[in-house]
Amino acid sequence: MKRDDPRALALRILEEVEGTGAFADTQLGRTLAGTRLDPRDAALLTRLVYGTIAWQLRLDWTLEHLAARPITEIDAPVVATLRLGLLQILFLERVPAHAAVNTSVDLARARAGGGAARFVNAILRRALREGERPPPDAARDPVRHLSIVWSHPLWLVESLGTELGLARTARLLEAHQQAAPTCLRINLNLESRDAALARLRALGLDVRAGRFADTAILLDSPLGRIGQGPTQRAAGFPADARASEPALRSAQSGPSEQRGTRRPGRSGPAEAEASLGVAFQSEASQLAAAALGVRPGERVADLCAAPGGKTGALACGLDSNGQLVAADLTPLAVRTMGNRLGRAPGLGLLCQDGRRPALRHEAFDAVLLDAPCTGLGTLRQHPEIRWRRQPADIERAHAIQLALLVAAADLVRPAGRLVYATCTLGRRENDDVVASFLAHDSRFVRDPIARWLPAAALSLIDPDQTLRTAPDLHGLDGFFAVRLVRRADM
C-alpha cells in the first residue's frame, strides 16, 4: 500500500487520536497539508477519520459480536483497523466491499503482522456475510438503543434524556452525526457581507450568507482549494478541521487533556485566514461575542481567550482609542493568539489564571468570559470529545466556571457588563452557574440580550433572555450565552 493511501493515513490519524489524546482536526489538517492527495482521496481520508470516530460505539457493538470478545481484549492497532474496515462496509456505499476488506487486511499485516491480518480478514468477511448487529430493543431499553444507534456514550444519552426528554435527545444525537458547516467571520468595518461574498466567489469559492449572524459566511468549497487544511466533507459525517472553540479548555485547569484541554494552535488554517481576509469562527461563537456589544473607545477584557476567534470579533467593535486585553492560562496559548491576531492597535495579551486575575479590578467596561467547558455542544466538529468525557467532568467544569465568573465580575466597572458563554449543553454548566453567581453577587442583574444581536438571531433567544443554540434546532453548535450588567451604584 502506497505511503499516501488515504486508508493508511486514516489509520495513522486514528491511532494518534486514540493513543495520544490528539485532536482529529489537528492531525487531519497536518496530514493533508503534508501530502499530495488528489481531491477525491483527500475527501475519502476526511470521511474515514471523522466517520470512524463518530460511529465508534456502533462499530464496536458489531465488532464485539463478530469477534466474540470485548474490544478491550483486542490490540489497539487491530481495533483501529477493524473499525476503519467496518465503517467502509456499513457506511460508505461508494467503496466496494472487497476493497474495504483487502485494504484492511493489508493495513493489519503492515501494522501488526500476519496473525493480525488473518484475524481482520476473518472478522470483516463475517461482517460481509452477516451484516450489522441489530441494536438493543428500543421498547425494552430506549436509552441503550439510542446510545448504540447514534454512537454516544450511555451516560451522555441518559443525561440528555433526563434533561431534554428522549424524543428531543434522539433528534440531537442524530444532528451530532451530521457535518457542521465551515463558517467564516468578516469584518464589517472593511466591507459589507455582499461585497465579501462577491470577492470570495471571484476567487472561485462556493460561499453563502450565514443565517443568523450578519458577519457570518458559510464556506461550501473544500479548504484544500485555498491551500491549507482539510478538504470537503461528506454528507452524513462530522465536519472536517476548522477553527473551533471546543473542550474543557486550557484556560484554567492545567495542561492535561485528561481534564479536557483546548490545545493552543487549533485555531484553523491561519494561512487561509490571512489570504482570504476572513477569520474561521462558528456562527454561534460569533453571536456570543456580539452579545457583549463592544463600542468604540471602551476597555474590554476577553478571558479564556485562546485561540482568539472571539478576540478578533471584539476588536472589530473598537477604534484606536479602545483597549482590548486577551488572556489565557498558558504561554503557548498566548503565543498562538499573538500569531493569529497580529499586532492589532490597542490589543494586549496576558498569561494568567482567570480565577486569580492579574488585571485591575473595576477597570473594564465589558468582559467576555467564554468559560472552559466540556464542549458537548461541538460534537459535530469534534466527535472524539464524546469518548473523552465522563459525568465527573461536568461537575469539575461547573466548579471552575463559577470560580471564573466570580473573579471576572470583579473586573467590571459599575454600570459595565459581563457576558458568560459556553459551547456545551446542559443546565449544570450553563443555567446553574449563572444562577449560583447571581444568588451570591447582588451587584449584577441579567440584561436583555436581544437588543445586541442581529434581528435574524432573535429566534435563538429564550424568554429569559438567554442565547441558546443547538445543532438539531438551528443547525448551529450548542452555545449558551447570558449578558449581565453591574448596577451603577454597586
**Cell output for 341:** 491576531
**Cell output for 430:** 450553563
Per the rule left: phi > 0, alpha: psi between -120 and 50, beta: everything else, 314 is alpha
- Beta strand 364-370 with 299-303: parallel, antiparallel or unpaired? parallel
* Partner residues linked to 64 by β-bridges: none
Q: How far apart are CA 73 and CA 10, in angstroms?
A: 22
Q: How far apart are CA 266 and CA 257, in angstroms?
A: 14
Known catalytic residue at 423? yes
Which is catalytic among the residues 304, 316, 373, 423? 423
Residue 100 is which amino acid?
Answer: A
Per the rule left: phi > 0, alpha: psi between -120 and 50, beta: everything else, 374 is alpha
From the list 269, 254, 278, 305, the residue with the least C-alpha distance to 419 is: 305
- Beta strand 299-303 with 323-328: parallel, antiparallel or unpaired? parallel
The catalytic residues are 423
